[in-house]
């Protein structure tokens, strides 16, 4: 039989071996955890760098698109101003019967702008579609040229926006 002292000694050795084993496993686990933390930090840094590079590329595409859009708008505004400046040379007011802008023409143009029926637009009291409106041909020409210019500017803005969206989508 084993003596109590030997039995206690064997228990102490066994507990010591278990403690040493646990300590060793803790160190191994700690090393694994630290390795995983380092890998995560590296992956996070790489992802951040990639995101920053992507953002820089998107910013460059947007800046180029903005520069082009500003140039396009300036060119269209200049062209509109040139068209407006040419009106006096080509459109004059001719006094006399039959040489007026009628309310009928004004109503047709207004209806086209509002997307309605010209008959639904009111005439001034006592006027008919054949009555001369207090608008002369140069004023009408200025209004039409201005409206066309606004349309071209809006259309160009849409074209530039579509080009920008395609450029952004192309950045992968």
To the nearest whole number, what is the mean pLDDT of the chain?
86
Query: What is the pLDDT averaged over residues 8-26?
Result: 78
Task: Look at 7-16, 104-113, 120-129, 158-167 and tell me which has the smallest mean pLDDT.
Answer: 7-16
Percent of the chain's residues with pLDDT above 90 = 44
Residue predicted with more confidence, 33 or 95? 33
Pair 138, 43: CB distance under 8 Å: no
pLDDT for the residue numbered 96: 66
Residue predicted with more confidence, 53 or 19? 53
| Residue 115 falls in which region: left (phi positive, over 0), alpha (psi -120 to 50) or beta | left
pLDDT for the residue numbered 73: 93
pLDDT for the residue numbered 18: 82
- What are the pLDDT digits (tens) for 57-69? 999 999 999 999 9
133 CB contacts (<8 Å, ≥6 apart)? 100, 101, 102, 103, 105, 106, 127
13-30 per-residue burial string, b: 16 or more CB within 10 A, e: under 16: eeeeeeeeeeeeeeeeee
Query: What is the pLDDT averaged over residues 6-33?
Result: 77
pLDDT for the residue numbered 13: 78
Give 132's strand partners.
102
Pair 86, 149: CB distance under 8 Å: no
Task: Look at 10-14, 74-78, 133-137 and tell me which has the smallest mean pLDDT.
Answer: 10-14
Question: What is the pTM (predicted TM-score) of this model?
Answer: 0.63
- What are the pLDDT digits (tens) for 79-113? 999 988 988 887 777 676 667 888 888 888 888 88
pLDDT for the residue numbered 98: 64
Give 102's strand partners.
132
């Amino acid at each position: 039989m084993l003596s109590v002292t030997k039995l206690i000694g064997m228990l102490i050795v066994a507990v010591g071996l278990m403690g040493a084993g646990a300590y060793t496993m803790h160190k191994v686990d700690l090393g694994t955890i630290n390795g995983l933390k380092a890998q995560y930090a590296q992956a996070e840094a790489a992802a951040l760098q990639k995101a920053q590079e992507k953002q820089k590329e998107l910013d460059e595409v947007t800046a180029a698109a903005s520069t082009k859009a500003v140039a396009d708008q300036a060119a269209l505004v200049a062209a509109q101003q040139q068209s407006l400046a040419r009106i006096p040379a080509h459109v004059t007011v001719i006094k006399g019967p039959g040489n007026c802008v009628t309310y009928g023409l004004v109503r047709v143009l207004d209806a086209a702008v509002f997307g309605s029926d010209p008959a639904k637009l009111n005439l001034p009291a006592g006027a008919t579609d054949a009555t001369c409106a207090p608008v002369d041909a140069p004023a009408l020409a200025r209004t039409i040229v201005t409206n066309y210019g606004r349309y071209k500017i809006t259309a160009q803005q849409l074209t530039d926006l579509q080009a920008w969206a395609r450029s952004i989508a192309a950045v992968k």
